Structure formats: C-alpha cells, structure tokens
C-alpha cells in the first residue's frame, strides 16, 4: 500500500508539472512576426552544371500587378545583404525621383555554404597563385576560381527562369556587384559582354591574385577589336593605400582607387567603339559604406528618369 501511495504521489507531481508547463506555454507571448519585404518572392533554382542549389529572390515593382508591360531587370549578387539595399533604392528612386521601375533579382549564396566560402568560389576568376586563406567550411579547403562557370549558370539557368515566370525585358538586364561581386561582373563582361546591357561595379577587388584581371583585360584586347558593354564603376575615396605603405598587387598593399582608375584607363585606351564606361569616386566613403552610392548612381546611369 505504501508503494502504491508513492506511485500516486509521483503521478500527481508529474501531472502538476505538465499542467504548469502547459499553462506557461499558453501564457507566453507569441514570437513577434518577422519584417517581410512587400512584393518579394523566393525561388529555388538549381545550378545543374555545378551540382549546387541556390535561391533567387525577386522584388516586383509597384505597378507590376496592374500593368501588362515588361520591365528591365536588375540582377544583384551577394543577395543576402545587397538585395534589400538595391530593392529599396530602386523603389525609392521610382517613387520619389521618377526613375523607371525595374524587377530586382537577388542571387543567393549556395545552400549549405557560408557566405565567405560561396562567394570566394563563385565570384573569383582564378585560384590565387599565392595565398594563405583559411576556409570557413569545416573539413573543406577554400575554393576559388569558378566565376566563369557561375556566370554560365546565370545566363543558362537563371535568365531562362526569370524570362519564363515574369514579364521581364531580357534585352535590358543590369548587373550589380561589389568587391568580389564586381570581379564576377568583370569576368562576365570579358567572357561574354552582351550578357548584360549595363554593369554596375563597385569597388572591384582588382588586387586579387596579384592583379589577374589586368592580365585578363590584356588577353581580351589581344583577341578582340570591340567590347560592347556599358559599365558604371564606383568606389569610395577612402579605399586607398594606408600612409607609409608601398603600393602593390597584394590585398594588404592595394590602392583600390588607383587600381580602378588604371583599369578604366586601360579599357578606354583600347578605343573600343561600343564600350561606354564611367568612373565615380565617392568622397568620404569606404569599402563598407559605398555600396548604396554606387547603386544609386549606377542605376541612374542606365534607367530613364522622368522628373516629378
């Protein structure tokens, strides 16, 4: 009888605990809802040739639901941070400054990869000849040099997906990249310049792999008489060499402003009939702060504006 009473007491205590936990759960306030960007969608678009999965974020312009027209398309890499920036700038310039509307497409990092690992691999043109980079992916060495292959994923799989699902004017495509993302844009511009009708390239990491993009530009010029592309280059005035350092083609000794001026001058010096470039240095901006300025001026350099 004593054992039975003990068992009953244990059951009673357990029941009271369950009741208390249920009461607490019921009384606990629900988690606040996340902030959601209006008129945005997320799709999975597999890179079949690369054997990887990515997401594509799409922001539709205000008039999309009530119109029948096709819209220019802005493709932005590093979408985890850059997509909402570009989407909001494009929307604000339309609503308050009369710039024409556009569909904004964000390109995510590969599923299962960290941002550093994914962008190093997908946005860089080569594996650096000398480097001491560490991987942020446990058990896997850092990967580089797949910009051309990733570019083919964009043109071969993402472009057709957008064309099928949206009223997109695929004859008016804009690329937006920053830092490593601009290396990807430059590689695509030299691989297949007509991939985009306009390139917005902020603070390109031209120091990468001892200045490999300067070599790529020279190789392109040796093979081609024209470069049919429109490019807006932007960079912060503070992205210069630290005092007391000697400029080189290494990250720690790079003068990114001087590098970009040199690269733009090399392009202009080729005399390409159908190349249009513009370079703007933004005062008092650095590598971390300059992106919104680059996007604003880069979009305005291509999209039409009706003053309100």
DSSP string, 132-199: ----SSTTS------HHHHHHHIIIIIHHHHHHHS-EEEEEEEEEEETHHHHHHHHHHHH-GGG-SEE
Backbone angles phi, psi at 7, to 5 degrees: -60, -40
Whether 8 has a pLDDT exceeding 70, the answer reads: no
Per the structure, the complete domain to which residue 213 belongs is given by 40-303
27 lies in a domain? no
- pLDDT value for 165: 98
**Residue 307 tokens, joined:** 């003053």
292 lies in a domain? yes
Beta strands 198-202; 229-236: pairing state: parallel
- pLDDT value for 229: 98
- pLDDT value for 306: 79
Whether 10 has a pLDDT exceeding 50, the answer reads: no
Whether 259 has a pLDDT exceeding 90, the answer reads: yes
2 lies in a domain? no
Predicted confidence band of residue 3 (pLDDT cuts 50, 70, 90): low
56 lies in a domain? yes
User: Residues 149-175: pLDDT tens digits?
Assistant: 999 999 999 999 999 999 999 999 999
Q: Which residue has the higher pLDDT, 135 or 262?
A: 262
Rounded CA-CA distance 248/250 in Å is 5
Look at the block and give the residue holding tokens 């280059």. Answer: 233
Reference 277, options 289, 262, 290; nearest CA is: 262
- pLDDT value for 79: 98
Contacts of 259 (CB under 8 A, 6+ apart): 204, 206, 207, 211
Helix or strand holding residue 46 (H, E): strand 40-47
Rounded CA-CA distance 58/32 in Å is 25
Whether 242 has a pLDDT exceeding 70, the answer reads: yes
Reference 56, options 47, 68, 48; nearest CA is: 47
| Average pLDDT rounded to a whole number, residues 298-305 | 96
Rounded CA-CA distance 118/287 in Å is 20
Whether 293 has a pLDDT exceeding 90, the answer reads: yes
**Residue 160 tokens, joined:** 């057709």
Whether 307 has a pLDDT exceeding 70, the answer reads: no
35 lies in a domain? no
| Average pLDDT rounded to a whole number, residues 217-241 | 97
251 lies in a domain? yes
Reference 159, options 148, 172, 147; nearest CA is: 172
Contact of 122 with 185, CB cutoff 8 Å: no
273 lies in a domain? yes
Going 15 to 18 to 21 to 27, the CA torsion angle's sign is negative
Going 240 to 242 to 248 to 254, the CA torsion angle's sign is negative
90 lies in a domain? yes
Look at the block and give the residue holding tokens 């007509």. Answer: 194
User: Residues 101-122: pLDDT tens digits?
Assistant: 999 999 999 999 999 999 999 9
Q: Give the chain's domain count.
A: 1
Spacing of C-alpha 26 from chain mean position: 42
**Residue 24 tokens, joined:** 């607490």
Residue 75: CATH number of its domain: 3.40.50.1820
């Amino acid at each position: 009888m004593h054992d039975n009473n003990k068992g009953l007491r244990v059951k009673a205590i357990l029941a009271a605990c369950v009741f208390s936990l249920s009461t607490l759960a019921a009384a606990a306030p629900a988690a606040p809802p996340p902030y959601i960007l209006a008129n945005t969608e997320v799709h999975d678009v597999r890179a079949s040739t690369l054997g990887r999965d990515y997401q594509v974020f799409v922001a539709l312009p205000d008039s999309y639901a009530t119109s029948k027209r096709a819209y220019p398309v802005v493709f932005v890499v590093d979408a985890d941070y850059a997509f909402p920036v570009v989407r909001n700038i494009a929307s604000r310039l339309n609503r308050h400054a009369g710039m024409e509307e556009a569909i904004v497409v964000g390109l995510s990092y590969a599923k299962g990869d960290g941002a550093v690992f994914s962008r190093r691999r997908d946005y860089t043109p080569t594996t650096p000849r000398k480097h001491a980079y560490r991987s942020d992916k446990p058990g896997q060495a850092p990967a580089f040099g797949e910009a051309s292959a990733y570019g083919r994923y964009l043109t071969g799989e993402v472009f057709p997906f957008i064309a099928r699902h949206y009223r997109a004017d695929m004859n008016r495509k804009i690329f937006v990249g920053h830092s490593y993302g601009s290396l990807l844009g430059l590689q695509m511009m030299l691989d297949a310049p007509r991939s985009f009708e306009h390139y917005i390239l902020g603070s390109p990491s031209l120091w990468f792999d001892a200045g490999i993009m300067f070599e790529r530009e020279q190789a392109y010029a040796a093979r081609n008489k024209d470069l049919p592309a429109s490019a807006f280059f932007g960079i912060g005035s503070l992205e210069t060499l630290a005092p007391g350092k000697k400029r080189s083609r290494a990250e720690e000794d790079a003068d990114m402003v001087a590098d970009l001026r040199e690269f733009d001058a090399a392009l202009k010096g080729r005399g390409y009939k159908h190349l249009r470039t513009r370079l703007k240095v933004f005062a008092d901006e650095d590598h971390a702060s300059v992106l919104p300025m680059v996007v604003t001026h880069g979009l305005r350099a291509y999209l039409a504006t009706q003053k309100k």
